[in-house]
Structure 1
Amino acid sequence: MERLGFPRWRAYGAAGRGASKVRLCDREGCNEVGDRPAPKAPHSKDRWYFCEAHAAEYNKNWNYFAGLSPRKLRAVPPKKNRALQPSAHLLNGNGWSGDGSRSRDEMRALEVLELDPDVEFKDVKVAYRRLAKEHHPDTNAGNRKAADKFQKVQAAYEVLRKAEERKNGKVA
């Protein structure tokens, strides 16, 4: 009877499959895998290799700030969690608000109304009324630039008004 299956180029259990070398924990009497390096001394390139339990025991009493005066300890900057910081390209350089709470359209609308990104909606209303009165076609008869500016101000106010309604839970 003929067996069908995957072709074999060498016999199972071939000679090329030796045991892999595993570094054991450097703690005396431990036979666990030593895959966690720890310095033998400060500023030394020599390392101990411990298992997880012995690495935790080794680091338990490690004083990372030994030898620093109280004055220098206060000067040590707190470690920032880079994973939780927003990307630099999303901040003010590309027209986005610093905290990411406003969309690109809202930022453009605020530019048209000559306002800062962190302005409140009541200030948006005041700026809209001021600019609408200043550029209204009735007060600037025949001035095409004023009419264009008036349309831009109206569109910008609509964008910000709808965003405010969405923020407050009203359907726009």
Structure 2
Amino acid sequence: MPKARRSNDWGFPRWRGYGSSREATNVRICDRHGCDEPGDCPAPKAPNSPERWMFCQRHAAEYNQKWDYFEGLDKAEKEQRAKAERSENAGYAEAQHYGWGGSGDGSRSADEMRALDILELEADADFATIKKAWREKAKTVHPDVKPGDAEAAAEFQKLQVAYEVLKVAEERREWKG
């Protein structure tokens, strides 16, 4: 009977060679011309198509930047699909109080993002910046400044709603934190 041989790693398995008997793995390269990064992010070639481009993370973000999920749908179909998605994602909305964050970390809702667009601000704007931008814009179209101007009144109302959306969101974040 052969004698059991003791290994040289003194009981520390991490000292043994890792994957010395494994073969090389194939890595798909990014489909963007001239890029040599690994392409591990799939991106659809066309709406409702099973074919995918494989991009690196940087080029996938560039490709998806202007992607419009609702492209080619008429207004009624867009509303129907958006409503279906809101109802499917309702469970996530219920769990918003478990979120970690402040602004700029992906925690802003679509309504908040639209309100920031109205105020012409970036997604990571803090509330002091929001308040300052709202005041500056509201002063130019306030009904006291432009009495009888229906267009200015509508713009003022839009600014008011945008500010209220952002104010409520900020209060909710302060209440959570």
Which structure has the larger Rg? 1
State TM-score, norm by structure 2: 0.45
Name whichever structure is richer in helix by fraction: 2
